[in-house]
Amino acid sequence: MVLNPVISKLSGKLVVLASASPRRLEILTNVGLRFEVVPSWFKETLDKSLFQTPQEYAVETARQKALEVARRMPFKHFKTPDMVIGADTIVTLDGLILEKPVDKQDAYRMLSRLSGKEHSVCTGVAIVLCQEQENEEIDYQMIDFYEETKVKFADLSEDMLWEYIDSGEPMDKAGGYGIQALGGMLVEHIHGDFLNVVGFPLNHFCKQLDLIYNHQPVGQENVLAACSAVPPVNSRGPMNPPSVIENVHADDLKRIMELMDGFKASKALFTASKMRVFDLLHRRPGLDGAAVAHALQASLRGTECLLEACVALGLLERKQGAHQEAVYENSRLAQRFLRSDSASSLLGYLEHCDELVWPLFSHLESAVREGTNQHAKDDLYVSDTRKLRFMRAMHCIAGVAGPAVAAAFDLSRFRTACDLGGCTGSMAHELAKAYPGLSVTVLDLPGVVEMSGAFRPPGGDSRVSFVAGDFFKDKLPKADLYILARILHDWPHDKVHALLRNISDTCAPGCGLLVSEIFLDRDRRGPSRGLLQALSMSEGKQRSAGEYKALLESHGFTVTHIAHTDTLLDAMLCIKD
């Protein structure tokens, strides 16, 4: 087979690799294939027990990876690929799939099982061909196959096993080894495609491209039948779908329905949290609906509906009791984020969303037509009750995002910090915990400082102190590092510049400024949380990292590091020129 004619057929086409694997990227790059890398968001959660063979599982995983990217790109990236390539490599021994090891002991168990034995390495590959139709809809056609290679390990001594494990190489490899690197010393011989063991069966892939582009016209149903090595399988088990993947209508409808029902899911979450369902099931796991209803002093019918909705949302798990009745327990999500006594509890923020944000968004049409916030900013502090609720919400956000923000950069060179608008001191305590040599002063309005004592951790920390003041008008405490967490997005243009001028005037050259906000994508396509928050029509503005960078540079700060933490807040570190 000659590859050059195939490469020429792909010239000018948008080819996408739905994988972040550096090994697959290198293999395809080395043969001259030009492509973009868009890692798939598909979570590899298929039930392996539903597949007759490990090969079917690998192929279906590759299919789902490729389809997720093919369907996402027109909406998230505003471009339709011509071809998306998905792949999944598994290692099997006696029919058992060996995943990536979770720790060194797991790696040892895997590798010791492989010692002296022959095992299989199988890569499932899926090629999705995307064709835009005249009605602007997209047809997706699928070609899938797998390649299997037999690998024989030598008899491995304990010293060799642990030498390899201690190198760290096994930890991100299926089966616990990489044949292209140090893992090659474990292998006695292989039978089949070497590159397949590395992560991508290049020879088989090229043959499929040759079949698609040089032997049969793309779009005919028999192309897909001829190229498919195994029957497609979905998460419900084996099936026999048509060769051409159906239009995207079903996924589009599902997405629209998810958006339409989103407010119901939010209210179910808020209600279950407000009624302390998750606290109850933490104290007394395994209650049935009647017991939960009695404890909550609620109707049996309403309670059962709420419990089942929480099961569907992944907040609760339904199990079978001793008498075959349905009983309920918290899910991992609820245990971590929805218990009032959890270190990562979001209960205060959920209460804020339910009591303030929910009514606010009930008037969204008016807000959009008028371009004004439906609540005045001062409403937050109209009473101690509202003030306390708002402080609880900010405390939750800082408590969940704080550890990631504190660990985003090395701040050990700073000895004193000032958290401007630091509210309850939650972020300050996280920074003090992460850096034993750092003292943090929290500056906030007098009314906030007066009530901050209710949030201080048991025993407190002498390195965290509070000062009452207005960061727009008052002289700021001297510090090596200033912190603005969830501050800049909330204020209008003139106030933002007034605050940054005050900080810049106070800072000596070399002082740091840590900004923590939701950083939008440059093209404003995400994160959706920040864009949805902007719909509140507050006086402020949501910004991308680039916009924050320009804003800070205009006040004499040089941005040195930017971190997307994948929590509630991102982070940016700046140094005063």
Confidence at residue 106, expressed as pLDDT on a 0 to 100 scale = 84
Distance CA 104, CA 101 (A): 7
The answer to whether residues 108 and 92 touch, using CB atoms and an 8 Å cutoff, is: no
Length of the chain: 577
Residues 6+ apart with CB under 8 A from 78: 525
3-state SS assignment for residue 158 = helix
Is the domain 261-345 a CATH 1.10.10.10 member? yes
Residues of CATH 3.40.50.150 domain(s) within the chain?
Answer: 382-576
Residues 6+ apart with CB under 8 A from 384: 451
Residues 6+ apart with CB under 8 A from 22: none
Residues of CATH 3.90.950.10 domain(s) within the chain?
Answer: 4-248
Report phi then psi at 445, rounded to 5.
Answer: -60, 150
Confidence at residue 382, expressed as pLDDT on a 0 to 100 scale = 54
Distance CA 496, CA 2 (A): 62
H/E stretch holding 557 reads strand 557-563
3-state SS assignment for residue 430 = helix
The answer to whether residues 449 and 464 touch, using CB atoms and an 8 Å cutoff, is: no
CA 259 to chain centre: 19
Active-site residue 410, yes or no? no
Q: Cis check for the bond before 527: say yes or no (omega within 30 of 0).
A: yes
Q: Which two tokens stand for residue 45?
A: 């959660």
DSSP secondary structure, 479-521, as one string: -SEEEEES-GGGS-HHHHHHHHHHHHHHPPTT-EEEEE-PPBP
CATH topology of domain 4-248: Maf protein (3.90.950)
CB atoms within 10 A of CB 545: 20
3-state SS assignment for residue 449 = helix
Distance CA 514, CA 512 (A): 7
- CA-nearest of 522, 502, 503, 525 to 512 is 503
Side chain identity at residue 489, one-letter code: H
The answer to whether residues 37 and 25 touch, using CB atoms and an 8 Å cutoff, is: yes
Report phi then psi at 279, rounded to 5.
Answer: -65, -45
**Locus of tokens 């009647």:** 290
The answer to whether residues 186 and 161 touch, using CB atoms and an 8 Å cutoff, is: no
Confidence at residue 475, expressed as pLDDT on a 0 to 100 scale = 93
Confidence at residue 445, expressed as pLDDT on a 0 to 100 scale = 94
Residues 6+ apart with CB under 8 A from 212: 127, 129, 143, 218, 223, 227
The answer to whether residues 28 and 86 touch, using CB atoms and an 8 Å cutoff, is: no
Provide the CATH number for the domain formed by 382-576 in this structure. 3.40.50.150
Radius of gyration over alpha carbons of the chain, in Å?
A: 28
506-507-509-511 Cα dihedral, nearest 10 degrees: 170
Instruction: Using the Cα atoms of residue 477, residue 483, residue 486 and residue 491 in order, give the sign of their dihedral.
Output: positive
3-state SS assignment for residue 575 = strand
CA distances from 445 to 170, 191, 360 (A): 53, 72, 24
Residues of CATH 1.10.10.10 domain(s) within the chain?
Answer: 261-345
Distance CA 139, CA 457 (A): 57
- First-last CA distance in the chain: 61
Helix 300-312 and helix 289-296: axis angle, to 10°? 110
Q: What is the DSSP letter of 424?
A: T
DSSP secondary structure, 270-336, as one string: HHHHHTTHHHHHHHSTTEEHHHHHHHHT--HHHHHHHHHHHHHTTSEEEEE-TTS-EEEEE-HHHHH
Long-range contacts of 382-385 (CB under 8 A, 24+ apart): 384/451
Which is catalytic among the residues 82, 88, 470, 494? Answer: 88
- Tens-binned pLDDT, residue by residue, of the chain (577 aa): 445 566 667 777 899 999 988 889 999 888 888 889 999 988 877 888 888 889 999 999 999 999 999 988 887 767 889 999 999 999 998 888 888 888 888 888 888 888 889 999 999 999 999 988 776 678 889 999 999 999 999 888 888 888 888 888 888 888 888 888 888 888 889 999 999 998 899 999 988 888 887 755 444 433 343 333 333 334 333 333 333 344 445 667 777 888 888 899 999 999 999 999 999 999 999 999 999 999 999 999 999 999 999 999 999 999 988 888 899 999 999 999 999 999 889 999 999 889 888 888 888 888 788 777 766 444 545 567 788 888 998 999 998 899 999 999 999 999 999 999 999 999 999 999 999 999 999 999 999 999 988 888 877 778 999 999 999 999 999 999 999 999 999 899 999 999 999 999 999 999 999 999 988 876 655 556 677 777 766 778 888 888 999 999 999 999 999 888 878 899 999 999 9
